[in-house]
Structure 1
Amino acid sequence: MSVAEVGEFGLIERVTARLAHGPATLLGPGDDAAVIAAPDARVTASTDVLVEGRHFRRDWSSARDVGHRAAAANLADIVAMGASPTALLVALCMPADLESRWAEELADGLAAEAATVGASVVGGDMSASPTLTIAVTALGDLGGRAPVVRSGARAGDVVALAGRTGHAAAGLTVLSRGFRTPRLLVEAYRRPEVPYPAGPEAARLGATSMIDVSDGLLADLGHVAKASGVGIDLRRDAFDVPRQMGDAAQALGVDPYSWILAGGDDHALAATFPQSVVLPPTWRPVGRVVAGLGVTVDGQPYVGPAGWDHFR
């Protein structure tokens, strides 16, 4: 059945019946607004949007995949502040002929990704639209800690990375060339593996700045460098090229480091730490904060696009 046949309120009932409540949810879907516990008395909030044809394609990804991806993009922003996610609000705009099953499975993906961090989908909105669009707002709790912002990096700090980069960008390139393998790369594009625990961990360790790598490591660290008024120098040899990525790069005629350094959508976390901090295995050093401005690689400007820009 299409969403038009099910109807707005029928679809809402079908979707909300699939949603479990996390520990922070005091009142979930069903009223004019949800009620979420905020023990810290501060709420961390972020929002992101996915548009069909721009961020995803239904012939490349299942509804569950899109749900996981939409949730991950927002939850990663919350942990990048050093907070713990608590809730998601989702607005879904869709064509009337969309199968209701697709919307229901999207909700399954959203709920499953949120559950990995103890959060839940607590409400949202639906509307008819010629373009399938998913807008997600994430909420989080700082647990008494100061937020880790982009403007705190200082010369001498260590730049470290949690998670992987380049996999999702490689997967996108593979799909756009008409292939479905290597599976490792394609699945990385469909469902990011976000290192959620690393965000609050970095805050406890004393990270001076942190950011979610959504648009590309060079581009996103460029935001940190600009906000902090410093330079950041990355070491190319700190990044290994996995075998499957190297094979795909060779077959497609692509420099794999363009994926690793400038590819987005893996949602790794990049942070800066004082030199005195002993980093756990979660975090691997990849560079240094230096005097100056901007981001360099082995002391030299990077040649080529540094990341994704929607309007370029």
Structure 2
Amino acid sequence: MSVAGVGEFGLIDRVTARLSYGSTVLLGPGDDAAVVAAPDARVVASTDVLVDGRHFRRDWSGAYDIGRRAAAANLADVVAMGADPTALLVALCVPADVETGWVEQLADGLGAESAGVGASVVGGDMSASPTLTIAVTALGDLAGRAPVTRAGARPGDLVALAGRTGYAAAGFTVLSRGFRTPRLLVEAYRRPEVPYPAGPLAARLGATAMIDVSDGLLADLGHVAKASGVAVDISRDAFEVPPQMRDAAQALGVDPYAWLLAGGDDHALAATFAPATVLPDGWRTIGRVAEGHGVTVDGQPFDGPAGWDHFR
């Protein structure tokens, strides 16, 4: 049955019946607004939008994976501030002929990704639209910690990375060329593996700056460099090209480092730390902060786009 067949409120009932709620949710869907506990008295908030044909394709990914990806894009922003995610609000604009089962699977994906970090989908909105669009707002709690912004990096700091980069970008290239393998890369595009615990851990460890790598490592570190008034230099040798990526790059005529250094959508976390910091498991050093401005690789400008630009 299509969403037009069940109607707006019937679809809302079907979706909310599939959701569960954590201890921070004081009032869930069903009223004019949800009520979420904020023990820290500060709320971290972030929003993102995914548009069919621009950020995902329904012939490349199932609804469940799209739901997980939509949640991950926002939850990663919350943990990049050093906060613990608490809730998501989701606005869905959908063509009237989309099947209700597709929307239900989307809700399952959103709920599963949120539950994995102790957050809940607490409400949102629905509307008919010729273009399927998913807008997500994520909330988080700092648990008494100071937020880790982009503006605290200092000359001499280590630049470190948690998670992986380049896998999703490689998967996107593979899919765009009409292939469905290597599976490792395709699945990385469909559903990112976000190192959620690494964000609050970095905050407790004293990270001086941090960012979610959504548009490309070099582009996002460029935001840190600009906000902090410093230069960042990345070591190419800090990145290992996995065999599946190497083989795909060779077959498609792509430099794999263009994926690793400038590819987005993996939602790794990049952070800067004081020079003497002993990094915990899951974090690795990839470069240094210096005086100056901009981002370089082994002391040289990167040859090619540094990341994704929606309007380029």
Quickly name the TM-score band, shorter chain normalised.
over 0.9
Report the counterpart of residue 258 of structure 2 in structure 1: 258
CA separation in 2, counterparts of 1:193 and 1:37? 27
**Hey, which bits of structure 1, 4+ residues long, moved more than 4 A?**
none
CA distance in structure 1 between the aligned counterparts of 2:287 and 2:142, rounded to whole angstroms: 27
What aligned pairs does 1:132-171 form with structure 2 within 5 A after superposition?
A: 132-171=132-171
Aligned ranges for residues 221-260 of structure 1 at < 5 Å? 221-260=221-260
Distance 2:108 2:6 in 1: 18
Measured after TM superposition, the shift of residue 54 of structure 1 is 0.2
Cα distance in 1 for residues equivalent to 2:274 and 2:231: 15
What is the deviation of 1:171? 0.1
* 2:298 match: 298
Amino acid at match of 1:94: V
- 2:271 aligns with 271
2:40 matched to 1:44? no
Q: Distance in 2 between matches of 1:130 and 1:98?
A: 10
1:72 Cα deviation after fit: 0.1
Q: What is the CA distance between 1:277 and its match in structure 2?
A: 1.1
State the partner residue of 2:73: 73
1:40-78 Cα shifts (integer Å, max 9, x gaps): 000000000000000000000000010000000000000
> Aligned-pair distance for 1:22?
1.2
How many residue pairs match? The answer is 312
1:89-147 per-position Cα deviation (integer Å, ceiling 9, x unaligned): 00000111111111110000000000000001000000000000000000000000000
Amino acid at match of 1:81: M
TM-score when normalising by structure 2: 1.00
Aligned partner of 2:149: which letter?
V
Q: Distance in 1 between matches of 2:229 and 2:43?
A: 27
The aligned counterpart of 1:102 is 102
Residue 310 of structure 1 corresponds to 310
**Offset at 1:23?**
1.7
Tell me the equivalent position of 2:20.
Answer: 20
2:39 aligns to what SS in structure 1?
coil
Q: Where do 1:141-220 residues align within 5 Å? A: 141-220=141-220
Q: Secondary structure at the match of 2:118?
A: coil
Gaps of 5+ in 1: none
Task: Give, in angstroms, the shift of residue 12 of structure 1.
Answer: 0.3
RMSD of aligned Cα (Å): 0.4
Return the alpha-carbon distance in structure 2 between the equivalents of residues 273 and 132 of structure 1: 41
SS in 2 for 1:301: coil
SS at structure 1 position matched to 2:110: helix
Looking at structure 2, the residues matched to 129 and 17 of structure 1 have their Cα atoms a distance apart, in angstroms, of 23
SS of 1:150's partner is coil
Structure 2 CA distance for aligned equivalents of residues 248 and 281 of structure 1: 29
User: Which residue in the other structure is 1:129 paired with?
Assistant: 129
* C-alpha distance in structure 1 between counterparts of 2:85 and 2:186, whole Å: 27
Distance in structure 2 (CA, Å) of the matches to 1:154 and 1:236: 21
For structure 2, the 5+ residue unaligned runs are none
**Normalization by structure 1: what TM-score?**
1.00
User: Residue 93 of structure 2 corresponds to which residue in structure 1?
Assistant: 93
Structure 1 residues 139-166: Cα deviation after superposition (integer angstroms, max 9, x where no partner): 0000000000000000000000000000
Partner letter of residue 228 of structure 2?
S
Alignment partners' CA distance in 2, 1:8 and 1:226:
45
CA distance in 1, matches of 2:274, 2:68: 34
Give the drift of 1:260. Answer: 0.2
* In 1: Cα distance, 2:205 partner to 2:281 partner: 13
Task: State the 1:19 CA deviation.
Answer: 0.3
Q: Percent identity between the aligned chains?
A: 82
Deviation at 1:282, TM superposition (A): 1.2
Work out whether 1:58 is the aligned partner of 2:39.
no
- Amino acid in the other structure paired with 2:214: S
What's the offset of the Cα at 1:212? 0.1
In structure 1, what is the Cα distance between the partners aligned to 2:19 and 2:280? 35
Distance 1:248 1:22 in 2: 41
Letter in 2 for 1:276: A
CA distance in 2, matches of 1:106, 1:297: 39
